[in-house]
Structure 1
Amino acid sequence: MTDPFRNCFVTKTKEEEENESILWQRYQNLVSSFPKEQGWGFENYICNYQSFWYADKHCQAVLAVQDHFKARSSDIILATNPKAGATWIKALLFATVTRSKYPIYNHPLLSQNSHFLVPFLEIGLYNNRIPDLETLPSPRLFGTHISYTSLPQSMIDSGCRIVYLCRNPKDVFVSMWHFKNKMRERLSKIPLSIMEAFERFCNGVTHFGPFWDHVLGYWTASLERPQNVLFIKYEELKADPVVQLKRVAQFVGYPFTSEEEKEGLVDEILRLCSFENLSSLEVNKTGEAPMGKFKNEAFFRKGKVGDWDNYFTSEMIERLDKITEQKFHGYDLKL
C-alpha cells in the first residue's frame, strides 16, 4: 500500500521553507526554556509544558499542532496515554470505519502497521514540518497522546469525535518500562531499572504524563461532553470486545447493521485486529516503526491484563494504589 499521507507533504517554495524553518526555530527556543527532567528512552531529558511532560521534539510538535491543526466535525481522534493500547484501538477503528472500502482478506492492516494507517499528530505528522492535512478525504483518523487540556482548540470547537482508551496504571507502567528499555538498547544506552522507572512514574515524570492527570482530563470531558468524547477501558475491551467495538462504532457514526452482525463482520474485524494476528504479521515482526528509532515488533509484547503482577512488589502495589486512590478521589472512576 502506498503512503496515504504522501500528498500532505508537497514540495514548498524556498520562501515557504524559510518561513517554516523560522517557525520551528521559534518552537525550539520556547521548548528550551521549559522545566526539564531526565528522560526515559531516546531523549536525554523531557520538558514540562502546560503541566505535562514531553520529549523536546514532541513538545515542539504539540505547539505546532495547537497552532496549525484544523479539525473537521467528521474527524475521529483516538487518544491514549502511552502504552494504553493505541496500536489495538487504531487497528479496530481503522478496520471499522473503512470496512466498506477494504475486504478483510486483502486488508491494509495485513501489510501496514496501524500507526502508519492512523498516525499520531504530534509524533508522526508534525515532525519538524507542517503537513497539509486538508488534502485528506473525510473521515480523517488521527492518534494522539496529547492531554485533553492541551488539545488544539479546533478539536473542541469542531465537535469532532474523540475516543479515549484508558488502561490500568500498573500495566501501563510495566509496558512503558519494557518499551523504553527497548529504545535504550537500540541506542546502546544502559537499561533503566524498574525501581528508577517506577519512582519517575509515581512522581508523574513520564512521557505525556502525569498518567492520572491525563486520564482525568478525558474522563471529565466524557462526562461534560458525552456526544463528543467516549471513555473506554482497555480491560473492558479485552473482556467483551464485541459489545465494546459496537459501542465505539456507534459513537463515531459507523454503527454495524443487523445484517453485518449476522454475517459475522464484527467477529471478522476482531480476529483481524487481534493481538495474535497482528503480532504474527511480517510487517509487525520486521518492519520499521513509522516514528523511527525502533521496529514495529516493539508495539507487541503481551497485550495481557494483569501482567503487572509478575513485576510488582507488595510495596509497589500499595504505593501506586494509594496514589491512584488519592488522584481519583471524588471522580467516581475505578481502574
Structure 2
Amino acid sequence: MECIPLGSEESAKKGPPENVSSESLEDFIRTLPTREGWSQPMVLYKNYWCRPHLIGKIMQLQDSFKPRYKDIILATQPKCGTTWLKALAFTITNRSRYSFTDHPLLTSNPQYLVPFIEIPDNGRDHTYLETLPSPRLLSTHMPLSMLPPETSSHGCRLVYLCREPKDALVSRWHFENRIVEGSNIELVKAFDMFCEGFSPSGPFWNHCLEYWKESLARPNEVLFLKYEEIKSHPEQVVRQLAKFLGVPLTEEEESSSVAEKMVKLCSFENLTSLKVNQTGGVDHGNKIYVENSVFFRKGKVGDWANHMSEEMAEKLDHVVEQMLKGSGLAF
C-alpha cells in the first residue's frame, strides 16, 4: 500500500494532543498518512481510512457524546444495508406509536429518522443528538474501537450488519461515483484498493472483526447480523431484532402478521416507490450531497457477478478468508 508521504503509520495509531484547537487539529490531520483514489482523499486514523473532515467529528465525540442507558446503536460498514437496517429498527421500536397506513417511513427517508452519530446532515451536528428523548435510536459507520468506551458500560445495545464483501465493494463503487461531482473511479482500481484494505471506514475485514468479536463476548448487548440473512428470512430477523431490542412480538401481533407487515413496509420495493425516496437528499458537508435515491440501488445478493470477473472474485475471496482466518466469521 503506497501512501503520500505526509505522515507516518505511528501517527495514524494515536490521537491528537488533548484540548486540541481547530488549528492544531488541522495540523494533526496533516501528519496522518494520506492516500487518494476514492472520490475524495482518505487519511489513516487509528488504523482506519476516513474522510479528513470526519476526523474532527469523531474526536469531538470521544469527549462530548454521552451514551445513555438503553441507547440503540446501529453499526455498519458503508453500503452494507444501512438504510434497510434503519428502516427495520425504526419500525420495530416504534410500532406502538404509528400505524402502517400513517407511518413516518411513508414521508421520510430512513436516513433522517435514524441519525448518524458522527456524520452531520443538513447542517445538524452531533450536539443535536443530546436533544433526542431516550431511548435513542442512532447509527454509525465507525469501527467499535472509535466509539466512546461508555457504550459498553451504559447498557447500550449494538446491532451490527455486515455484507458479503464482493457485493459491498460493488455497491460502494457505484455510491462513490455518485456522491461527489466529477468522480469517475474505475471498478478495477476500486477493487485493487479494497483488496489492499484501502476503502472508506476500511479495512473492511477489521471493521467486521471488531464487532464480531464483541458479539461473541457480549451476546446480550451486541447482535451481529448478515445482510444475506435478512434477504433470505426477513420475518425471522424481524422477530430476532425485536427480541434483542427488548420489544418482542406479542402473540396478538403474531396472529395479526405484524412481522410480515413490517417487512413489507421496509422492503426495497416499497421504499423505492415512495416519492420521498425519489427526490431530495442529505447534505453531509465537504461537498458531499447524497440524493435520497442514491441510498437505494438494487439491494440484491450476488450482483457482484454482473461486474467482476471470476479471477477478481477468487482473489477477493482469498484475501477475506485469510484476514478472517481463525475468527469463526465467514462469508
CA displacement 1:102-143 (0-9 Å, x = unmatched): 111111111111110101111126979550533211110111
- The aligned residue for residue 250 of structure 1 is 243
Deviates most, 30-39 or 208-217: 30-39
- The aligned residue for residue 333 of structure 1 is 329
Letter in 2 for 1:217: E
Superposition pairs of residues 174-323 of structure 1, within 5 angstroms: 174-184=170-180, 187-189=181-183, 191-291=184-284, 293-323=289-319
1:168 aligns with 2:161: no
Distance in 2 (CA, whole Å) between partners of 1:314 and 1:136 is 48
CA displacement 1:161-209 (0-9 Å, x = unmatched): 000001000000000000101124xx123x1000111111111111100
Superposition pairs of residues 50-129 of structure 1, within 5 angstroms: 50-124=46-120, 129=125
SS at the partner of 2:73? strand
Give the alignment's Cα RMSD to 1 decimal: 1.8
Distance in 2 (CA, whole Å) between partners of 1:253 and 1:132 is 25
When residues 115 and 130 of structure 1 are mapped into structure 2, their CA distance, relative to the original with a 3 A threshold, is closer
TM-score by structure 2 length? 0.89
Distance in 2 (CA, whole Å) between partners of 1:27 and 1:256 is 47
Letter in 2 for 1:37: R
SS at the partner of 2:264? helix
Letter in 2 for 1:237: I
SS at the partner of 1:231? strand
When residues 29 and 103 of structure 1 are mapped into structure 2, their CA distance, relative to the original with a 3 A threshold, is farther
User: Where does the alignment leave 5 or more consecutive residues of structure 1 unmatched?
Assistant: 1-21
CA displacement 1:221-256 (0-9 Å, x = unmatched): 000111111001100111001111110111111111
Q: Following TM superposition, by how much is the alpha carbon of 1:31 offset from its aligned partner in structure 2, in angstroms?
A: 2.1
Does the CA contact (< 8 Å) of 1:39 and 1:55 recur in 2? no
Distance in 1 (CA, whole Å) between partners of 2:129 and 2:290 is 26
Distance in 2 (CA, whole Å) between partners of 1:65 and 1:200 is 29
Distance in 2 (CA, whole Å) between partners of 1:176 and 1:40 is 10
- The aligned residue for residue 10 of structure 1 is none
Deviates most, 58-67 or 129-138: 129-138
Superposition pairs of residues 11-26 of structure 1, within 5 angstroms: 23-26=21-24
Distance in 2 (CA, whole Å) between partners of 1:194 and 1:71 is 39
1:32 aligns with 2:25: no
Does the CA contact (< 8 Å) of 2:71 and 2:134 recur in 1? yes
When residues 214 and 269 of structure 1 are mapped into structure 2, their CA distance, relative to the original with a 3 A threshold, is same
SS at the partner of 2:120? helix
Letter in 2 for 1:52: Y
- The aligned residue for residue 148 of structure 1 is 144
Does the CA contact (< 8 Å) of 2:122 and 2:283 recur in 1? no
How many residues were matched structurally? Answer: 310
Deviates most, 119-128 or 196-205: 119-128
When residues 135 and 128 of structure 1 are mapped into structure 2, their CA distance, relative to the original with a 3 A threshold, is closer
Distance in 2 (CA, whole Å) between partners of 1:302 and 1:183 is 17
Distance in 2 (CA, whole Å) between partners of 1:276 and 1:165 is 20
Distance in 2 (CA, whole Å) between partners of 1:129 and 1:276 is 31
Letter in 2 for 1:193: E
Letter in 2 for 1:102: Y
Does the CA contact (< 8 Å) of 1:61 and 1:126 recur in 2? no
When residues 26 and 246 of structure 1 are mapped into structure 2, their CA distance, relative to the original with a 3 A threshold, is farther
SS at the partner of 2:32? coil
Distance in 1 (CA, whole Å) between partners of 2:137 and 2:110 is 11
Distance in 2 (CA, whole Å) between partners of 1:30 and 1:114 is 35
Distance in 2 (CA, whole Å) between partners of 1:293 and 1:197 is 21
- Aligned residues: percent identity? 44
